[in-house]
Structure 1
Amino acid sequence: MSATDTELTATKAPAKPGTLRYALILGGLSAFGPLSIDMYLPALPQMTGALHSTNGTLQLTLTGFIIGLALGQLIIGPLSDALGRRRPLLTGLGLYAVASVLCAVSPSAEMLIAARLLQAVGAAAGIVIARAIVRDLYSGTAMTKFFSMMMLVSGLGPILAPVLGGQILRLISWRGVFVVLTVFGVLLLITAALALPEPLPAERRRPARLGATLRTYGNLLADRSFFGYAFAGGLMFAGLFAYVSASSFVLQDVYGLSPQGFSLVFGANGVGIVLAGQINGRLVGRFPERRLLATGLVVSALGGLGVLLAALFTLPLVALLVPLLLLVSSIGLVMPNASSLALAEHPHNAGSASALLGVMQFVVGGFATPLVSIGGESSAVPMGTVMAGFAVAALVIFATMTRARQDRLPAAAAR
């Protein structure tokens, strides 16, 4: 065990709820971003007419959310290092619920954009603090196992959100999507208030000073391994964004799947992420996290190249679906290990490290949708090119920018 882990283990940990229940709560907090982004995407055409606006203006609701998510994490991460996790988390969840109500009742596109910005800041609290709490409570392979368990919830968020949004639109208007998000925020606020103890003791908190915060971020970015793991994870997240944004057009318009058939494929890939995450949890401790991460990145790259080849040569649908399943499922291997390895060496500023990790995921991921749209919607080649490109780039970044650490022993225990 490293000196860092020894120091953490020596500090008395707060009582923890049941592991599965805790994983479900923190996984729900981690799913805020994908749910809030993807669930309302099917409603954009309807919103354009209802708000008497243009597609370009309503696209700013997505841009504003991503900006708010990035800025919110950068601010809330260091605050949680200074104030503890509970106060910033509960404040953020309350802000999310209020902002979601404002989204639901917005009379204009301009007000919706402003409400989405506030909603994103609230969502950022859940995302960044969930990861920081895991780092507070766990170290070594126990942390990676817990991140894998969180994939039961967080891994399904970006996959199922568009499907859920589409089903909501069959019953009620686009405003109902934000009503559902309001309920989700309120439920998590109540659950966090009742079931999440404060994991960061006062003696481990750090003052929130601007100069110190900027130096912390600078040191994290200068840490070659942290940057490599975080960037590789961001590139994988971008590949997932490309899949979510383009797969409905590719599978239905290009390959002729029915909406029901598309939903089955989409759901199967979601299950693949969860299963891969649980397999990863079983393997951690038997194999080093770095080796499992490398395996996931290789599988992702091979899957991405398979998707691209199937698209280029217009192969039958099954030739596309198999490598697509491999690529999407590999998220369950990559993200728990990348997150754990990135946070492992930064226990004393876990909030700031978690913030940068999240920002890189969503900022890099934000480039995926416009890249896919450049190639049009009449072929699977743009989706295959973007997904393969991001997957191969993630493998290259991992191989060139990260290195094995001697103190990452399988026997590292949870606090």
Structure 2
Amino acid sequence: MILILGSLTALGPFTIDMYLPGFPAIAKDLHTLPSKVSLSLSSYFIGISVGQFLYGPLLDKYGRKPPLLFGLGLYVSASLACVFVTSIEGLIAWRFFQALGSCAANVAAMATVRDIFPVKDNAKVFALLMLVVGASPMVAPTLGGYLTSSLGWQAVFVVLTCMGILNIINVVLWLPDKYVPDRTLSLDPKSIIQNFAAVVKVPQFSTYAMAGAITFSGLFAYISASPNVFMEHFSLDGKVYGWVFAFLSIFFIGSSQINSMLLRWYRSEQIVRTVLCIQVIIASCFLVSSLLGWMNVTTCILFLMGYLSCLGIINPNTAALSLAPFSQKVGSASAVLGASQMTAGAIVSMAISLSPGTSTLPLATALTVTASTGFIILIAGTKISRKGK
């Protein structure tokens, strides 16, 4: 079950990571700049943000499988269309629709975790999913680099099309659907908005969802900035960049598994507060080093190792704490949680894409701002929740 849910959750990360080493080749073929190719990444994040709000109510009303299969079908179609694009505008547009399809997989996987596993085990399950998902940043950029150099960047989207088809087969044959659809749930826009509002009004959800989303957007800053930082600023080639990306992913994955051990002795609330504080310190040191000109490829990798390690611990705990108050409306809660992450990610990614130059300063600034803002929201939200009680 973890592998099936992990394959669904990994679809989005693979779609994000695999084409990153191909940015220079895409720019050359489509007669544009690598910085403009980054806008196809931003459009993907925007598509995920919008799509999650659409799929949440559909998953609650019709069950998990029908909306999921529709989304996967859309993903396969859009991925295939990306193979044949002839302009950067076309790539940006089809990446948006690719995101609309892939986000169904993420929302459905999160809701299914809440459906079939006890609440007390949710953080551990999310950590295990992180292990499966974490293979994508290790494998995807490296595979993408070799595919691009050997067969061209279009081969990446052929592979993504095949992945979508395999996920459809997994869902049809093996994914259980234990959730009983709520046919009384209205899909009237007013009712949908009221459902989302009811979810957001739960103090525990709003605190951990927002703190987690802002913090998690640092990952998108890293993903958006890393091609320029490593391949343009530090002059690494696509294959070496893929290996660096894979190496850094080990720390993101490994820390999520350390989190499972920490949960034996500490509560999720304690872990989030402590590790987020450490992340703020690491990001601030990264920013100061960038401002003072102390940054080289080795120090950059070391700072990113620390930042991503913290993120691997924070994310499964904030996700579990956000969904814990719900037994009904889990699809809507998962949609709001995922959409908040992707909206924050889209904003940060857009800011990175539009930043001038290729130095580490825009990335360091983004990581410091996201970690610090997430920590402030966490502290303020928990204080407000305690006063409410």
**2:379 matched residue in structure 1:** 399
Q: How many angstroms apart in 1 are the aligned matches of 2:18 and 2:142?
A: 8
In structure 2, the CA distance between the partners of 1:369 and 1:209, relative to structure 1 (3 Å rule), is: closer
Uncovered stretches (5+) of structure 1, i.e. residues with no partner: 1-21, 407-415
The one-character-per-residue Cα deviations of 1:143-191 (angstroms, maximum 9, x if unpaired) are: 1100000011223435654443222211112221110100111111111
1:257 is displaced (CA, Å) by 5.8
1:81 matched to 2:49:
no
1:398 is displaced (CA, Å) by 0.9
1:123-138 equivalences under 5 Å are 123-138=102-117
**1:92 matched residue in structure 2:** 71
- Does structure 2 conserve the Cα–Cα contact (< 8 Å) formed by 1:146 and 1:281? no
1:47 is displaced (CA, Å) by 3.5
The one-character-per-residue Cα deviations of 1:71-100 (angstroms, maximum 9, x if unpaired) are: 221111111111111121122212211221
**1:364 matched residue in structure 2:** 344
Q: How many angstroms apart in 2 are the aligned matches of 1:38 and 1:265?
A: 13
**1:336 matched residue in structure 2:** 316
Q: How many angstroms apart in 1 are the aligned matches of 2:47 and 2:355?
A: 28
**2:267 matched residue in structure 1:** 288
Q: How many angstroms apart in 2 are the aligned matches of 1:127 and 1:197?
A: 16
1:46-65 equivalences under 5 Å are 46-51=25-30, 61-65=40-44
1:76-225 equivalences under 5 Å are 76-109=55-88, 111-158=90-137, 160-202=139-181, 207-210=185-188, 211-225=190-204
1:107 is displaced (CA, Å) by 4.7
Residue identity in the other structure for 1:125: A
Pick one of 341, 345, 352 that aligns with 2:332.
Answer: 352
In structure 2, the CA distance between the partners of 1:305 and 1:143, relative to structure 1 (3 Å rule), is: same
**2:254 matched residue in structure 1:** 275
RMSD: 2.8
Q: How many angstroms apart in 2 are the aligned matches of 1:263 and 1:53?
A: 22
- Does structure 2 conserve the Cα–Cα contact (< 8 Å) formed by 1:299 and 1:330? yes
Q: How many angstroms apart in 2 are the aligned matches of 1:50 and 1:374?
A: 21
1:32 is displaced (CA, Å) by 2.5
Moved more, 104-113 or 28-37: 104-113
Q: How many angstroms apart in 2 are the aligned matches of 1:298 and 1:397?
A: 12
Q: How many angstroms apart in 2 are the aligned matches of 1:200 and 1:90?
A: 16
Q: How many angstroms apart in 2 are the aligned matches of 1:121 and 1:79?
A: 14
1:387 is displaced (CA, Å) by 0.8
The one-character-per-residue Cα deviations of 1:181-225 (angstroms, maximum 9, x if unpaired) are: 0011111111122121112034x6652432322111112223333
The one-character-per-residue Cα deviations of 1:342-380 (angstroms, maximum 9, x if unpaired) are: 111122011111111111111111122343355533532
Residue identity in the other structure for 2:165: V
1:390 matched to 2:343:
no
- Does structure 2 conserve the Cα–Cα contact (< 8 Å) formed by 1:81 and 1:206? no
- Does structure 1 conserve the Cα–Cα contact (< 8 Å) formed by 2:20 and 2:227? no
**2:45 matched residue in structure 1:** 66
SS of 2:178's partner is coil
- Does structure 2 conserve the Cα–Cα contact (< 8 Å) formed by 1:250 and 1:377? no
1:250 is displaced (CA, Å) by 3.2
Pick one of 229, 249, 254 that aligns with 1:250.
Answer: 229
Q: TM-score, normalised by structure 2?
A: 0.88
- Does structure 1 conserve the Cα–Cα contact (< 8 Å) formed by 2:251 and 2:308? yes
Moved more, 302-311 or 37-46: 37-46
Q: How many angstroms apart in 2 are the aligned matches of 1:382 and 1:114?
A: 26
In structure 2, the CA distance between the partners of 1:398 and 1:206, relative to structure 1 (3 Å rule), is: farther
Percent identity, aligned pairs only, is 34
Residue identity in the other structure for 2:338: G
- Does structure 2 conserve the Cα–Cα contact (< 8 Å) formed by 1:306 and 1:320? no
Residue identity in the other structure for 1:133: T
**1:307 matched residue in structure 2:** 286
Moved more, 362-371 or 330-339: 362-371
In structure 2, the CA distance between the partners of 1:218 and 1:159, relative to structure 1 (3 Å rule), is: farther
Residue identity in the other structure for 1:209: L
1:48 is displaced (CA, Å) by 4.5
Residue identity in the other structure for 1:357: L
Q: How many angstroms apart in 1 are the aligned matches of 2:235 and 2:89?
A: 37
Residue identity in the other structure for 2:61: A
Q: How many angstroms apart in 1 are the aligned matches of 2:385 and 2:177?
A: 30
**1:241 matched residue in structure 2:** 220
Q: How many angstroms apart in 1 are the aligned matches of 2:8 and 2:383?
A: 30
Moved more, 84-93 or 109-118: 109-118
SS of 1:315's partner is coil
SS of 1:286's partner is coil
1:296 is displaced (CA, Å) by 2.4
